[in-house]
Amino acid sequence: MKIDRFLKAALVGLSLSAMPLAMSTPAPAHADTVRIVKKGTNATLNVPMNRAVVVESDIPFAELSIANPGIADISSLSDRTIYVLGKSPGLTTLTLLDASGQLITNVDVRVAADVSEFKERLRQILPGEQIEVRTANDGIVLSGVVSSTQRLQRALDLAERYAPERVSNLMSVGGVQQVMMKVRFAEMQRNVSKSLSSSLALNGTIDSTGINGGTGTTATSGGIAGSLGGTVPAGNQNAGAVLFGFNAGSVQVGLLLEALEQKGVVRFLAEPNLVALSGQEARFLAGGEYPIPVAQTSSNSISVEFKPFGVELIFVPRVVGQDVINLELNASVSAIDPTNSVILGNGIEISAFTRRETSTTVELRDGESFAIAGLLTDDFTDNTSQLPWLGDVPVLGALFRSADYQRNQTELVIIVTAHLVTPTQGEALALPTDRIRPPTEKDLFLFGRTSEGTRTPKKGAAGEVAKQDFGGSYGYVLD
């Protein structure tokens, strides 16, 4: 009996001493494990597929049987040791009988895919992620909470390498997964135009010869008769005009100087905000729809299609890290431009559109901004008209010459900012309309008030927001 115990202890010690050596050397195709089966127990033995387990019994057996040899194969190494090889996923029963035919024990043998290597690779590729790996028949089940959708997809892609088309995903994404997109359109248009022109008119007689003529504007307005009469010609469109007239003997001389300077500045700013779940598309339109007639050749009729215009925003956010956001963005600003309208043959007039649009994909962190689009145009036009030869004469040539120039500058910048946001309680939110109440009849008719006054929250987050002006942030709580 002492010798038997000594041999058992030696076998266990030999197995344990071989484990460090097996860990330091490449693992063989079939790894061995030692398990002890006791009499009267109905234990479960887990065997990886295509690997072997050595089972030791504390009672000598005389006969072995396996219920389904297709799931596991067995062979006896001695009257106490059994070699079990996993062949295909499934559950079967191993039965041990003694020399008298009495049942020693039944062992449930469960054969599943070997996921030990997959677990090790998962820890190497995605360290720190709380992912649990289980086997289900011949597949892999993944559960737990991951930090981003990108890491979740990496885990699924790795699992597909070990169990193609047999991966069940029970994982969820933790952290904030809602993104608020803030887009700022800023456009500045500047234009400057200047013009200076002169007209000379003559009327009278020289040596009994009549003279009546002129240059520039006075040449088209009846010559000297209208100019010296003190009236500016009807064709004049300039903001400033100076008329001089004098007599040189029997000849009347008229000089008309016309000058124009125009300056203009246009500022346009749009700032749409929109919230979407990570991976989901969100759309925003602040504007309207313009009807456009479309000819139908099949029915010989005209139908109407509506084209949207205004501030449009389409984006798809993806949270790829703890605070890293991938944005697929399409933003545009359009307006009706009647100056470039098209008139059809049947009298239908269709207006054109001015449109500024950008489509891009950027990656930024929570709260960071990108200037995704910028445009600077500078148009310059310079025109000079004069009478041949006379306009080239120094000083006096200015009376026979007209010059004008025009310069148009446009600058456009589009800036995007992304925030990770979470919902909050409804009473913590405030709107600009919360501070305005409709007027009473007394306030409206007697005092001409369009509102009865303001009602400002005093406490909580709504009170803090109410202290801001109408340009403040409403409706969102930022991390």
Question: 115-173: same fold as 43-112?
Answer: no
**CA-atom Rg of the chain in angstroms:** 45
User: Which residues, in sequence order, are CB contacts of 4 under 8 Å at separation 6+?
Assistant: none
Q: Given pLDDT bands bounded at 50, 70 and 90, which one contains residue 208?
A: low
Separation of alpha carbons 158 and 442, rounded Å? 74
How long, in residues, is the chain? 479
Q: What is the pLDDT of residues 372-384, one digit of tens each?
A: 887 778 888 888 8
Residues 302 and 292 sit within 8 Å (Cβ to Cβ)? no
Separation of alpha carbons 34 and 11, rounded Å? 9
pLDDT recorded at residue 105:
85
User: Within 10 Å of residue 380's Cβ, how many Cβ atoms?
Assistant: 10
With 50 as the cut, is the pLDDT of residue 476 above it? Answer: no
- Top-level CATH class of 43-112? mainly beta
Vertex 318: Cα angle to 315 and 320 (nearest 5)? 155
153-167, 168-182, 203-217, 274-288, range with the lowest pLDDT:
203-217
pLDDT recorded at residue 316:
92
Q: Given pLDDT bands bounded at 50, 70 and 90, which one contains residue 256?
A: confident
3-state secondary structure 84-113: EEECCCEEEEEEEECCCCCEEEEEEEEEEC
The first and second tokens of residue 462, run together, are 């709504």
Task: List C-alpha distances in Å: 212 to 80, 236, 237, 248, 259.
Answer: 137, 20, 24, 14, 25
Residues 252 and 203 sit within 8 Å (Cβ to Cβ)? yes
Q: What is the pLDDT of residues 359-371, one digit of tens each?
A: 999 999 888 988 8
Tell me which H or E stretch contains 392. none
Q: Given pLDDT bands bounded at 50, 70 and 90, which one contains residue 25?
A: very low
**Structure-model confidence comparison of residues 347 and 411, the more confident one:** 411
With 50 as the cut, is the pLDDT of residue 229 above it? Answer: no
Separation of alpha carbons 81 and 238, rounded Å? 113
Residues 39 and 18 sit within 8 Å (Cβ to Cβ)? no
Counting other chains too, the contacts that 168-171 makes at CB distance below 8 Å and 24 or more residues apart are 168/136, 168/139, 168/140, 168/141, 168/142, 169/142, 170/141, 170/142, 170/143, 171/131, 171/142, 171/143, 171/144, 171/145, 171/146
417: left (phi > 0), else alpha (psi -120 to 50), else beta?
A: beta
CA neighbor of 52 nearest in space, from 89, 84, 76: 84
Residues 110 and 86 sit within 8 Å (Cβ to Cβ)? no
With 70 as the cut, is the pLDDT of residue 99 above it? Answer: yes
pLDDT recorded at residue 33:
45
Domain ranges in the chain?
43-112, 115-173, 191-260, 266-384+401-421, 425-478
Q: Using CB atoms within 10 A of its CB, is residue 429 exposed (0-12), middle (13-18) or buried (19+)?
A: middle
Strand pairing class (44-48; 103-112): parallel
- Give buried/exposed letters for 229-253 (b at 16+ CB in 10 A, else e): eeebbeebeeeebebebeeeeeebb
DSSP letter assigned to residue 166: -
With 80 as the cut, is the pLDDT of residue 318 above it? Answer: yes
Q: Given pLDDT bands bounded at 50, 70 and 90, which one contains residue 441?
A: confident
The first and second tokens of residue 6, run together, are 């000594």
Amino acid at 232: V
Q: Given pLDDT bands bounded at 50, 70 and 90, which one contains residue 264?
A: confident
The structure tokens 């040596």 sit at: 207
Q: What is the pLDDT of residues 46-97, one digit of tens each?
A: 888 888 888 888 888 888 889 998 889 988 888 888 888 988 888 888 888 8
pLDDT recorded at residue 62:
87
- Top-level CATH class of 115-173? alpha beta
Q: What is the mean pLDDT of the chain?
A: 75
With 60 as the cut, is the pLDDT of residue 15 above it? Answer: no
CB-facing half-sphere around the CA of 106: CA atoms within 13 A: 6
Residues 64 and 76 sit within 8 Å (Cβ to Cβ)? yes
